[in-house]
Amino acid sequence: MTGLTHIDAAGKANMVDVSEKTPTRRSATARSIVQLPDAVLAKLADGDIDSAKGAVFQAAIIAGIMGAKKTGELIPLCHPLGMDNCKIDISINDSKELVIDCTATITAKTGIEMEALVGASIAALTIYDMCKAMSHDIVIKETKLIEKTGGKNDFRRS
């Protein structure tokens, strides 16, 4: 099985050995898109949605950061990483969808894109959880890597 870094020569799952790699500055940004029904969007005021559980976006930001910090515990073959920073921004696009961007940074021997993807995903799931009492028509449309720098190859989605 060529090309899969988490599969060894015998075809077994394996954690990538990064012991010989040199630490470099690495950054990754992931994005989740959440479609909210009009009834929920109508609750948007002062840049957040107030729910019975509290300020939705603020809770989602905290949950996303907490999730990113636990990526090595959640994804079996991910290296546990001590992030240098994790930032989550939530905005509304022209289609009236929530755009959640999670950017994680580190100086390390391995990348941080999984942390960014987990952070964006957990923030999206938190928004669903906090708003589901208002409507179950919430849709988490996608989560994708937008950009990564550092390591062997940089990546930017156009």
Q: What is the pLDDT of residues 65-109, one digit of tens each?
A: 999 999 999 999 999 999 999 999 999 999 999 999 999 999 999
How many Å apart are CA 28 and CA 19, to the nearest integer?
A: 21
State how far the alpha carbon of 137 is from the alpha carbons of 7, 107, 134, in Å: 39, 40, 9
Taking only the tens place, the pLDDT of each residue in 36-69 is: 999 999 998 888 998 888 899 999 999 999 999 9
For 53-128, strand residue ranges (E) read: 54-55, 85-92, 97-108
Position 35 in a domain: yes
Candidates 86, 111, 103; CA nearest to 32 is 103
Position 61 in a domain: yes
**Mean per-residue pLDDT over the chain, rounded:** 93
Candidates 104, 95, 13; CA nearest to 64 is 104
Is residue 113 classed as helix, strand or coil in its secondary structure? helix
Element counts in the chain: helices (H) and strands (E): 4, 8
The structural domain count of the chain equals 1
Residue 74 structural domain: 24-156
What percentage of the chain carries pLDDT values higher than 90? 77
Position 55 in a domain: yes
Position 17 in a domain: no
Which residues have a Cβ under 8 Å from the Cβ of 89 and sit 6 or more positions away? 100, 101
Position 3 in a domain: no
Position 118 in a domain: yes
Position 125 in a domain: yes
**Which residues are catalytically annotated?**
129
Position 114 in a domain: yes
Q: What is the pLDDT of residue 16?
A: 86
- Residue 33: which CATH number? 3.30.70.640
Residue 48 host element (H or E): strand 48-51
